[in-house]
Amino acid sequence: NAGVMQNPRHLVRRRGQEARLRCSPMKGHSHVYWYRQLPEEGLKFMVYLQKENIIDESGMPKERFSAEFPKEGPSILRIQQVVRGDSAAYFCASSPAEPTSGRDPYEQYFGPGTRLTVT
């Protein structure tokens, strides 16, 4: 049972280019979360999506950033016109639609992250 998959694992972009980060949730999970980790900091929530719906985008910068989770395919975090300050690790997590009987009913499972470097 594959875990959360993210690609690419490393992405280098020049200032002004676009960055597209992809996340495939665990099988059976329909909720996706994106987090950003700046160097030497903890993870900060960006956006929470369900299939075809943005549920909470309170952590997303107002400009240049967008996220989607289409009916088919992975979730995409898109950063337009990247700047050096966008350099960070971006983590995706997924959870099932309903509470589970696992260790935490709403546990999020994390992908390996995408490291974005803007030159």
Partner 1 sequence: AQKITQTQPGMFVQEKEAVTLDCTYDTSDQSYGLFWYKQPSSGEMIFLIYQGSYDEQNATEGRYSLNFQKARKSANLVISASQLGDSAMYFCAMRLNNNDMRFGAGTRLTVKP
The edge-to-edge listing of strands for the beta sheet with 75-79 is 5-7, 19-24, 75-79, 65-68
Does 96 participate in binding partner 1 (rule CB under 8 A)?
A: no
Binding flag, residue 18, partner 1 (CB under 8 A): no
Residue 99 within binding range of partner 1, rule CB under 8 A: yes
- Footprint (CB under 8 A) of partner 1, residues 64-83: none
Q: Which lies closer to partner 1 via its Cβ, residue 13 or residue 94?
A: 94
Burial of 25 (0-12, 13-18, 19+ CB in 10 A): buried
E strand map for 1-119: 5-7, 10-13, 19-24, 31-37, 43-50, 53-56, 65-68, 75-79, 88-95, 109-110, 114-118
Among 48, 60, 69, 118, the residue binding partner 1 under the rule CB under 8 A is 48
In the complex, the smallest distance separating the C-beta of residue 92 from partner 1, rounded to whole angstroms, is 11
Instruction: Name the residues that contact partner 1, by CB under 8 A.
Output: 31, 33, 35, 40-45, 48, 55-56, 89, 91, 93, 95, 99, 103-108, 110, 112-113, 115
